[in-house]
Amino acid sequence: MMRPARALLPLLLLPVLLTTGCDAGKNGGTAADSADLDAAARDWGVAPELVYVTEVSGYTVFQASVGAYDDEFVAAYRSEEGATKFGLFVGSGTMTAESCPEQPLGEVSDKQVTCEHDGDAWYRTAGDSHEYAVPDDGVVIRLIADSDTVDRAVLRKAAEAVHRPDDAELAALLPTTDNADT
């Protein structure tokens, strides 16, 4: 698939961006250039306002997982050992005490969802899955995992760290030229 030149710019700058640090968006940096974010979101088939990232020590985004799924932005994060451990899903909507237990938790639609308010987020469980759901200005960011592979503390840290990507983080979400054709 041919990418617009604007979408390729972050790929060309990836080595430079990665050496300048990836935590600027949360700690005083600026959000990604809106034109670059719009182009990337368009390539993924999602609305730009759905693109969020997180950071948890020991986990990195799996580039091949980044994209759209059922009108949501999705990215999988895997441990340093390489196994995919938790997913980040962002969709339009809200979550309240009333709607929390009514919304399915990932693919677990046949199990009752329990909800616990935890700071600005909701900690939700159903079957063997658990998640933190963070409502933010018309979107809900969900961080979901199997409860036997990722503990609650990791998901909570991921929920506390969700934010809009800066330029370096956006570049890290995009496929590199080495695997763009796979």
Distance of CA 82 to the CA centre of its chain: 17
Which residue reads 């390489």 in tokens?
A: 82
- Per the DSSP assignment, residues forming a β-bridge with 163 are 53
- Per the DSSP assignment, residues forming a β-bridge with 130 are 125, 145
| Residue range 94-118, pLDDT digits in tens | 999 999 999 989 877 778 999 999 9
Sheet holding 72-79, edge to edge: 59-69, 72-79, 84-92, 139-146, 129-136, 121-126, 114-118
Of 87, 92, 67, which Cα lies nearest the Cα of 162?
Answer: 87
| Residue range 169-180, pLDDT digits in tens | 999 898 765 544
Task: Answer whether 95's CB lies under 8 Å from 103's CB.
Answer: yes
Average pLDDT over residues 144-149: 93
118 φ/ψ angles, rounded to the nearest 5 degrees:
-135, 95
What pTM value is reported for the model?
A: 0.78
Element of type H or E holding 129 = strand 129-136
Residue 48 per-residue DSSP state: G
| Residue range 44-78, pLDDT digits in tens | 999 999 999 999 999 999 989 999 998 999 999 99
| Residue range 31-46, pLDDT digits in tens | 666 788 888 999 999 9
Q: What is the mean pLDDT of the chain?
A: 80
Of 170, 107, 100, 173, which Cα lies nearest the Cα of 135?
Answer: 100
Residue 87 in this model has a pLDDT that exceeds 90: yes
Q: Could you give the CA distance from residue 87 to residue 115 in angstroms, rounded to a whole number? A: 19
Give the side-chain half-sphere CA count within 13 A for 178: 3
